[in-house]
């Protein structure tokens, strides 16, 4: 079994061979508020948190606009050859978030070239909260806008308490307050989600392993069997004590109306099946044992790689497999010198980066068409109360045929070899 671990029990869990759990590495903030990995063993995130002058989450959400990228042109050398600069560069851990000024650009061109040469046909994506910030959902750790910087309103003693199952057992309100903001339905997928769907559309996506709980990968039309929601989702709910299933819609109605959903069997609190620290990861997560050894490209996007076991998962592709990090900062193994051979990164705003990636691949117009048609169909479906579910709109999209083709290719059980 795999479990989600908090930083506090990470060491203990490393000695466990049978259970993998979600964990978050210690992390400190530098004087300028940016992320920096703390190797000192400091575990109490809350003690490191600076007092925020503006606790308004709404305002922070509105500030979460896409910022410009500062490395234009680096990946488009005159000779059209990929620059290798990125392979040997890693940003200082305490560099400000506009680290894209660094010479770490170039990874995109290299990977796009490999893809165009047909050398990447089993692409794995490991995604985190950074892919959804452009949809207006704050991540955890971005200074100022991240949820960890805005926890005053949730009244928790330390940030990770909000996803701590023992804490939830005593006081579910902080999580339910957060859940109200995160519940799928009020946010739409953005260009990045549709880029991943385009990987699928092109028949290149082996699987996306997302740590997100917003469900936007599925909302944008990536079929279920191509998505591993490693930290669960709001799609189902159950009793946090006896695991008796509870209708997810009823749980949502209760939570949205500030009522605590209660188990009909044991009367304990029901929670959406979002994986908390100390809880088992979904069975589907174990697909990684088949997927990662056969991947020929790994794209890591929008994650701080601070939560186990996903953080370590990225190290399980074969050593010859190229890995591309798309993030605002260098994280995990990409934050070390020298970079592993075959590692590339492109630092900066993710949506900007992914648009450039799509341009290099010649996919931009297709993605925009796909996005337009899918979003239009989805809005149409929402407007009409009798409409079919959002995912059913795929068949009506302009790319319906091809997507259906790849969908049917991929619609085999996730236990298949794919
Ligand atoms: P995190 O620790 O907050 O890291 C996010 C990373 O993305 C950071 O390195 C950011 O710098 C980077 N980032 C954020 N926005 C952008 C951007 N626009 N451009 C480039 N980079 C950006 O979140 P992780 O995903 O690493 O941690 C996993 C946690 C977060 C999981 O347990 C999730 O459940 C949880 N989470 C999920 C959501 C969601 O479902 N959308 C939102 C918030 C937290």
DSSP 19-36: -B--EE--EEE-TTS-EE
Q: To test the ligand 1 pocket, which listed residue (3, 128, 175) has its Cβ within 8 A of the most ligand atoms?
A: 128
**Cα–ligand 1 centroid distance for 55 (angstroms):** 19
How many angstroms separate the alpha carbon of residue 206 from the centre of ligand 1?
22
Predicted confidence at residue 384, as pLDDT, reads: 65
- Gap from CA of 209 to ligand 1 centroid (Å): 13
Helices and strands, counts by H and E, the chain: 14, 13
pLDDT at 206: 98
Between 72 and 310, the higher pLDDT residue: 310
Q: How confident is the model at residue 380 (pLDDT cuts 50, 70, 90)?
A: confident
Pairing of strands 232-239, 245-246: antiparallel
Closest ligand 1 atom, residue 4 Cα? 32
- pLDDT of 48 over the 70 cut: no
pLDDT surpassing 50 at residue 41: no
231 among known catalytic residues:
yes
Omega before 338 cis (within 30°)? yes
Which of 2-16, 100-114, 341-355 bottoms out in mean pLDDT, i.e. has the lowest? 2-16
Closest ligand 1 atom, residue 349 Cα = 19
Tell me the chain's radius of gyration from C-alpha atoms.
21
> Which residue has a Cα nearest atom 43 of ligand 1?
139
Distance, in Å, from the CA atom of 282 to the CA atom of 251, rounded to the nearest integer, reads 20
Mean pLDDT of the chain: 75
Q: Taking 60 as the threshold, does the pLDDT of residue 76 lie above it? A: no
Query: Which atom of ligand 1 lies nearest, measured to the CA of 137?
Result: 41
Structure tokens at 285: 């997560």
Quick: pLDDT tens for 390-406. 443 333 333 333 354 44
Across the range 4-11, mean pLDDT stands at: 47
Q: How confident is the model at residue 359 (pLDDT cuts 50, 70, 90)?
A: very high
Cα–Cα–Cα angle for 236, 410, 324, nearest 5°? 85
Q: Which ranges of 33-106 does DSSP label H, i.e. alpha helix?
A: 45-48, 57-63
Residues 357, 348: Cα–Cα separation, whole Å: 12
pLDDT of residue 23: 57
162-202: pLDDT as tens digits:
999 999 999 999 999 989 888 888 899 999 999 999 999 99
Please tell me the residue having the least CA distance from ligand 1 atom 26: 303
Annotated active-site residue in 231, 240, 288, 344:
231
The confidence band for 30, taking pLDDT boundaries of 50, 70 and 90, is very low
State residue 342's pLDDT score: 95
DSSP-assigned letters across all residues of 306-368: -EETHHHHGGGS-TTS-EEEEESS--GGGGSSSPPTTEEEEES-HHHHHHHHHHHHT-HHHHH
Lowest-confidence pick of 2-11, 138-147, 387-396: 387-396
- H or E, element range at 174: helix 173-182
CA 77 to ligand 1 center in whole angstroms: 31
- Longest C-alpha distance within the chain, in Å? 68
Residue nearest to atom 11 of ligand 1 (CA): 328
| Cα–Cα dist 78/31, whole Å | 39
Bond before 309 cis per omega within 30 degrees: yes
Report the separation in Å between the CA atom of 409 and the middle of ligand 1, taken as the mean of its atom positions. 31
Q: Work out the average pLDDT over 78-87.
A: 30
Q: Which ligand 1 atom minimizes the distance to the CA of 302?
A: 7
Residues in contact with ligand 1 (CB, 6 Å cut-off): 128-130, 132-134, 137, 139-142, 146-147, 211-214, 231, 302-304, 306-307, 327-329, 331, 349-350
Residue 225: its pLDDT value, please? Answer: 98
């Amino acid at each position: 079994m795999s479990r989600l671990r908090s930083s506090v029990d990470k060491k203990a869990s490393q000695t466990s061979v049978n259970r993998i759990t979600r964990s978050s590495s210690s992390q400190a903030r530098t004087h300028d508020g940016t992320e920096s990995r703390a190797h000192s063993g400091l575990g109490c995130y809350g003690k490191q948190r600076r007092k925020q002058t503006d606790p308004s989450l709404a305002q922070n959400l509105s500030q979460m606009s896409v910022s410009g990228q500062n490395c234009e042109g680096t990946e488009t050398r005159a000779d059209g050859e990929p620059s290798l600069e990125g392979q040997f560069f890693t940003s200082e851990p305490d560099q400000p978030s506009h680290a894209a000024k660094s010479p770490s650009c170039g990874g995109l061109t290299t990977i796009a070239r490999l893809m165009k040469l047909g050398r990447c046909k089993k692409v794995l994506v490991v995604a985190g909260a950074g892919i959804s910030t452009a949809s207006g959902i704050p991540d955890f750790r971005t200074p100022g806008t991240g949820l960890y910087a805005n926890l005053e309103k949730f009244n928790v003693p330390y940030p990770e308490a909000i996803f701590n199952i023992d804490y939830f057992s005593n006081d579910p309100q902080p999580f339910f307050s957060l859940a109200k903001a995160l519940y799928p339905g009020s946010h739409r997928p953005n260009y990045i989600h549709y880029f991943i769907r385009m990987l699928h559309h092109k028949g290149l996506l082996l699987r996306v392993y997302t740590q997100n709980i917003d469900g936007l990968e599925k909302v944008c039309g990536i079929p279920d069997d191509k998505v591993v929601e490693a930290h669960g989702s709001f799609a189902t709910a159950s009793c946090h004590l006896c695991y008796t299933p509870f209708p997810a819609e009823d749980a949502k109605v209760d939570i949205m109306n500030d009522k605590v959903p209660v188990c009909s069997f044991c009367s304990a609190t029901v929670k959406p099946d979002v994986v908390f620290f100390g809880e088992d990861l979904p069975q589907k997560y174990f697909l990684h044992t088949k997927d990662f050894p056969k991947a020929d490209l790994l794209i890591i996007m929008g994650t701080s790689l601070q939560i186990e076991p996903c953080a370590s998962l990225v190290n399980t592709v074969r050593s010859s497999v190229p890995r591309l990090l798309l993030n605002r900062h260098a994280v995990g193994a990409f934050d070390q010198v020298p970079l592993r051979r075959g590692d590339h990164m492109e630092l900066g705003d993710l949506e900007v980066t992914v648009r450039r990636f799509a341009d290099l691949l010649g996919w931009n117009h297709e993605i925009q068409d796909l996005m337009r048609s899918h979003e239009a169909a989805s809005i149409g479906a929402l407007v009409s109360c009798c409409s079919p579910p959002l995912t059913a709109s795929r068949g009506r999209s302009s790319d319906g045929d091809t997507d259906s083709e790849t969908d049917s290719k991929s619609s085999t059980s996730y236990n298949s070899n794919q």
